[in-house]
A and B are shown apart, each in its own frame.
Chain A
Amino acid sequence: MSAPAIILERPQRWDAAFDPALTEADVDRLLATAPFNAMQPLAFPKRTPLREILRNDAKLHRFRRGEIIVRQGDYGSSAFLILNGATRVVLKPDLPPALLGRHAPVRKGLFRTLAQFWNGRRPPESFARSRLQASAGLGARVADQETRVFLQDLPRVLNAHRTEQMTAGDFFGEIAALSRMPRTSTIFADSDTAELLEIRWQGLRDLMKYDDALRRHINRIYRERALASYLRATPLFRHLDKERLDRVAEAVEFATFGDYDWSGDYKRLAQAGAVRPEKEPGIVVEGDYPNGVVLLRAGFARVSQKTGGGERTLNYIGAGQIFGLREIAHNWREKNRPVNFQFSLRAIGYTHLLIVPTRVMEEIVLPSLPARELPPLWPAAELSAEEPPPELARREQVGAEILEFLTENRFFNGTASMVIDLDRCTRCDDCVRACAATHDNNPRFLRHGPSAGGIMIANACMHCADPVCMIGCPTGAIHRESFAGQVVINPITCIGCKSCANNCPYDAIRMVEIRDQSGELMVDQEMRPITKATKCDLCVENHGGPACERSCPHGALTRMNLNQLDELSRWLGK
């Protein structure tokens, strides 16, 4: 019997619905409520009708009073619409980290540092039972197979913090969903019957695209809340005064590209070889008229160039980087010799970007720049040349093999990837031992991983620029450390739900069965082992930086920002 050959096509977005439990009746009910009842179903294309968007990209949640819906600082890929009841947003002061399920990492003091002398024989990941029972005014309940965390002493919270109620019809979380910025405030349910609709970013994007009211609404609050401060922090605009910056902000367009997430289908796609540059959605196509400068806000994009048969990757750019400035600056100065986009820019998975239109650039931004900050003109010779220009020549330094390797595996997401020089590594495991010595005798990484071109990206948390692991943590245990931004897990509030481990596309989070101090595995009432998610915390609690890097005797291991190739090319030193 021959099984039908499985052809792995790019999965349709709706292969797996966001909420499989959502019934047709629910969808009907949603279509009858605001704002969906005001939307024009006919405005949606056949491929993505409004009904299907709701059915597949939305999820119904019911919360009781005091249950936390989103936490300040969380990463999320979805927005919420209040259908019934009320929620409350915490304005000032912020809730303490303990109430958000976090603990501010403190550097080990002298005693805890020295205590590691004699802790070497402790069983790995052992906890004092008393430590695990400590809960800071938080309770938990399991509902709909999901764990809900609630504030136990709600009156005190309401007393101590200024809050504001949000009621049915209100949207929140849309900016975080679209731009992958951390949630700006904590929101919890204010009535026992709060019903919320969670819409994932793909659905939200489509709703925005085809519904003018929603788009206007989101654009407005985006411009109000997020844009100005972001633009002000962008070097390109630092010479503008407030009035002109506002004019830029007014004109900026933004867009979200890509079909799939890091966390979900990416690995399967990559392994099936379905990820090819030509298939990725183009943000800018080589040869187009330069209609604006692209500012990458979140996600990654590939810079490529047409060659005989297809396209070759020259570089990739990540959040904060700018594309197309050189062309536009050239055209502004050499009006009689305009050039088109010289390279293509393609979204790799989810990408969020801002586009500053050419007109605004020419009228406001470019005149403000001093001459030395302007990118060089395109000489006629270079336009026809096959070779990439110098700023893209990193590719040559890093080598095509490693560049493909990094792109294929999406390693450029890492801000602190563990890169091992295999030509230098003696496999002595000093790094692993150092990690274990500083982390409860449990090394928080695996000295093994994909390798190419003489380097290995070990299986350690890369502290991604876009940390998809942080999406969906029910207790807020996994979070960014507030100061330097390392992604850390609070073992006390981690409930072992594996959502972060499953989300991580790099397998960098591992569930570890914890023990008590005698070495006995801890179990719950059901005698199931208690697990905690563990991963590299970049030695946030230790002195002297990551122990793995410090302990490598041969300088073969380094923690490196792979968002840009500069550091890697310097390190490879070729």
Chain B
Amino acid sequence: MKRHRRQLFTGLPLLLVATVVTGYLHRRHAGALPGYAFLTGWVLLAAMLVLTFYNVWKKLPFLPFGRSEFWLQLHLYLGYFTVVLFLVHLNFRPPRGVFEIVLAALFTFVSASGVVGILLSRVLPRRLATRGGEVIYEKIPALRVACRTQAEALAVGPDSQSVVIGEFYLHRLADFFARPRNFWWHLAESRRPVAALLRELEDVQRTGSEAERVALAKLAELVRQKDGLDYHRSVQLSLKLWLFVHIPLTYGLLVFTALHLALVYGFSGGAR
């Protein structure tokens, strides 16, 4: 949509300009300035702190510090730019020491998880809107239990009279209804498992009596409903889970950065 493209049109040129300017400064000053690594390091640290501040900002929604949308855009483009800063700070050479390799790896993981996260955040909502029925994540367990209760009542409850359905439920459906299923299938946008289940259900249905057929049709509907819930759970959970990497590693990275700072200062200028 247009309004989002507008952000792209301001963010990308800014990023490019910043990158070019940084490249120019790097060519001019790298190697010649002894404090260069310190300066790039501090700029990098400042950028990382601003990036981390987005997490803090989110916890203070009551302060009138502008819109989160703006801050996310800043977070994104500054994030990309921080990768450039990081490479400049590294002088485009891979680190060699154990600690520095771990530090760089942490940075890479944080950046990569961020990129994955924004990709997921842009791609998955479209899918959520088209399938499964809109549902609030926290309500899914309760809805799933409701589904299961209905299905059990239908298949093995006191009112059900069909042994066939009961058998089929116990063998094929009980496990399906018991807990979230097919996380990866749903994430891969594949309906194969539920299609297989529904096919089996149809097979039973074909040979069943009129009453059985009605019950099985209802059961199929419940299967679809449960599948929709699973789908939403998978996708919504993925939209949340990437942050489980991004945020903890960010703070871990800051701890490592603190030691890096102490080491750099303690070991470089400290021989006096």
A interface with B by C-beta (< 8 Å): 108, 113, 116-117, 421-430, 433-434, 437-438, 447-448, 451, 454, 456, 542-545, 547, 549-556, 571-574
Contact = CB atoms under 8 A, between A and B. Distances in A.
A130 to B, nearest CB: 24
Interface stretch (B105-113, B122-130, B169-177, B255-263): B122-130
Contact of A555 (B3, B60, B63): B3
18 contacts: A422-B125, A423-B1, A424-B1, A426-B121, A426-B239, A427-B236, A430-B68, A448-B135, A448-B136, A542-B62, A543-B63, A551-B58, A551-B68, A553-B68, A553-B69, A553-B71, A555-B4, A573-B2
Contacts of A427: 125, 128, 136-137, 236, 239
Interface string B218-255: 00000000000000000010011000000000000000
Interface in B94-134: 121, 124-126, 128-129, 134
Contacts of B239: 426-428
Contacts, number: 95
Given A117-B60, A428-B240, A554 B69 contact: yes
Question: Interface extent on B, as a size class?
Answer: 20 to 34
Nearest to A425: B125
Q: Which 8 A-B residue pairings sit nearest by Cβ, starting from the closest?
A: A544-B64, A573-B2, A434-B61, A422-B129, A543-B64, A553-B72, A555-B69, A573-B1
B158 interface: no
Given A426-B125, A572-B1, A550 B66 contact: yes
B241 to A, nearest CB: 12
Which residue among B63, B71, B135, B236 has the maximum number of chain A CB atoms within 10 Å of its CB?
B63
Given A448-B134, A574-B1, A116 B125 contact: no
B93 interface: no
A550 B67 contact: yes
A456 B68 CA distance: 20
A438 B1 CA distance: 30
Given A430-B61, A544-B64, A552-B68, A424 B4 contact: yes
B125 A430 contact: no
A428 B134 CA distance: 14
A573 B4 CA distance: 9
Contacts of B4: 424, 555
Contacts of A113: 62-63
A451 B125 contact: no
A447 B136 contact: yes
A425 B235 CA distance: 12
A551 B61 contact: yes
Contacts of B68: 430, 550-553
A459 to B, nearest CB: 11
Contact of B69 (A433, A547, A552): A552
A456 B134 contact: yes
B134 A437 contact: no
Contacts of A555: 3-4, 7, 67, 69
B121 to A, nearest CB: 5
B1 A547 contact: no
Given A448-B136, A554-B72, A426 B124 contact: yes
Interface in B46-79: 58, 60-69, 71-72
Nearest to A117: B60
Nearest to A550: B67
Contacts of A547: 61-62
Contacts of B129: 422-423, 451, 454
B3 A423 contact: no
A571 B61 contact: no
Given A423-B126, A550-B61, A550-B66, 14 more contacts: A423-B1, A423-B125, A427-B125, A427-B128, A428-B239, A430-B68, A438-B61, A438-B62, A456-B134, A544-B63, A547-B61, A554-B69, A556-B125, A573-B3
A423 B128 CA distance: 8
Contact of B61 (A108, A437, A574): A437
Contacts of B1: 421, 423-424, 572-574
Given A422-B125, A427-B137, A430-B68, A571 B3 contact: yes
Contacts of B58: 430, 551, 553
Which residue among A108, A547, A550 has the maximum number of chain B CB atoms within 10 Å of its CB?
A550
